[in-house]
Amino acid sequence: MNFTVGVPELALVRFTVRDHSLRPANDFMGQYTLPFTSMKKGYRWVPLLSREGHDLDPASLFIFVWHS
């Protein structure tokens, strides 16, 4: 995914995981939001939290971050 960030100091990146099954509802599974400026380049581990902000350990995402 590529996108342009106009004001990095004010930008937030939100990861949301949903179960897109055959049922009509898209069940929420986890989320995490962080400031764009805190994202370092390279492979990173992103923990997932519940809607209430509780840790869902060991649920997580493994992502690759690259920015110029």
Q: What global pTM score does this model have?
A: 0.81
Residue extents of the structural domains in the chain: 8-20+27-65
Contact 26, 18 (CB under 8 A): yes
* Predicted pLDDT at 3: 83
User: 36-47: per-residue pLDDT in tens?
Assistant: 999 999 999 999
* CATH number of the domain located at residue range(s) 8-20+27-65 in this protein: 2.60.40.150
Tell me which residues of the chain have a pLDDT lower than 50: none
- What residue has token string 């179960």? 19
Query: What CA–CA distance (Å, rounded) separates 6 from 55?
Result: 31
Q: What is the pLDDT of residue 57?
A: 95
